[in-house]
Chains A and B, each alone.
Chain A
Amino acid sequence: MNASSAFFNLGQSRSIREASRLHPHVTIMLIADDTHVLGHPEEVIVAIKSIRTLYSRIGLTQLRYLPSTAGLEVGGTPVGHYDFVTESANKCVDKICYLH
């Protein structure tokens, strides 16, 4: 089955509401299939473990390993270490300027 983004978010909504209820001290933000958890480290880690458990009940069991880089992309926007942000921006500029 291939769910559209809207249907996907509907399907995950109850899991996220439950996670939000269980972990009121973190902020959970969703962009399509990406789930972002903002808070203090120990609370974020526990919340992510809860989300992983809740997601597994709706079929989202395989979470991809993210390498140990100095940042992450939030909706395509690089966030993190200076080098990570700059490198991402340079790649984007290269793509726009030289590949098109």
Chain B
Amino acid sequence: MISSLFFLMALLLLLMALRHWFLLLRSSLVIDEHPWSCGPLVTFSRTKGEFNDNLLALLSNSPPGAVPFPTLASVTPPDDLIGPTQDDFGGDDVVGILQASIPPTNHIIKPLAVIFSTVISSKLATPPKAPVSPILVIRESALISTVNIHRPRLNTKAHLMLTTTEIVAHLICNHVEADPSLVVGKVDCKNAFNAIHMEPILDVIRDELPILLPFAELLLSMAPIYTVPSTITIELKAPLCTL
């Protein structure tokens, strides 16, 4: 009996120590401000929506330092591009987007996006005459986006808890902002979780986590017996078994 009590007390102390350690770790990860924040104190580019209306009202009573950011033209026709032309990219489509940091009175059109055909142009190996911000879109495969990133500055302290996802997002942001020659490409698979084959998953589990193999086979080997017809409206939070 005494030993059980002693064990429970030790366990309680251990849990308290763990909680204290977790809080310390959490406080060490809080960031006071975005390290990459830049630009004016209050900026926006949206021209409609309730949030925009409220923001306009806020700005009308705001201190002089808070200025609305001008709305920028989104896409400029390829013919108006200054710098690389469509021919520089082997006839592939080129669209230009105004650089956000340039005042509207001094428009300098800078091509930011290049749409490639199915075959990647070898033009990339030889840089065009004028600098191009490498936001690239590869048709049917990926979007590559980078550089000249202007994040709205936060006028309050931003307390961010770093999660795994945020770490990746921050990592990508920091890299592409620090080195303009870098780009990030995103491969987005359609219906990925349903499309992936069962065998590659089981192969990995069989070789590296064999203890999970029966469980994985049980989960992956059978498709659901019942499917819900599209004519039935499913109430959220309702247990599936009632269907």
Contact = CB atoms under 8 A, between A and B. Distances in A.
A34 B187 CA distance: 6
Where chain A touches its partner, the secondary structure class is mixed
B141 A52 contact: yes
Interface of B: 39, 43-46, 49-52, 69, 72, 74, 95, 97, 100-101, 112-113, 115, 120, 124-125, 134-146, 148-152, 164-166, 168-169, 171-173, 175-176, 181-201, 203-205, 209, 216, 219-220, 223-224
Contacts of A71: 135, 145
A97 B44 CA distance: 17
A82 B100 contact: yes
A69 B144 CA distance: 10
B201 to A, nearest CB: 4
A79 B176 contact: yes
Interface of A: 1-5, 7-8, 10-15, 29, 31, 33-42, 44-49, 51-52, 55, 57-72, 74-77, 79-83, 85-87, 89-90, 93-94, 97-98
Contact of A63 (B137, B188, B197): B188
B46 A62 contact: no
A66 B112 contact: no
Given A45-B120, A48-B142, A68-B113, A58 B200 contact: yes
Contact of B134 (A41, A51, A98): A41
A14 B196 contact: no
Contacts of B145: 70-72, 79-81
Closest 4 CB pairs of A and B: A82-B100, A75-B165, A82-B150, A33-B192
B220 A7 contact: yes
Nearest to A71: B145
Contact of A40 (B51, B112, B173, B181): B181
